[in-house]
Structure 1
Amino acid sequence: MPSDFREAIESDALVTGVWAGITPLARNEWICWVTSAKKDETRSRRI
């Protein structure tokens, strides 16, 4: 998992709880969606 994405998840208790409750497949889809952004602005917005 990219470090900036991990930091964003760990910085909010609600998001951490949601992340813990989703399946590994769903987590992978989120990671792929975030990292597939071509522009830094898009990636930041997705995070």
Structure 2
Amino acid sequence: MLIDQWIGWIGDFGYAVYSGGLRVLWLAVAIGGAAWILYSRREKGRSGG
């Protein structure tokens, strides 16, 4: 049935988003952390600290 096919597609899509979403989240955390470190270092350099 078409409904069963839709459920299968939604399940596959949901799993892809879930597994891929975690990777994107880790990537965002890594980029954000690096940017924050660089920003805080630059601010310290400005204030002479």
TM-score, normalising length: structure 2: 0.33
Kindly indicate whether structure 1 or structure 2 has the higher relative contact order, using CA contacts under 8 Å at least 6 residues apart. 1
Give 1 or 2 for the bigger CA radius of gyration.
2
TM-score, normalising length: structure 1: 0.34
Name the structure with the higher helix share: 2
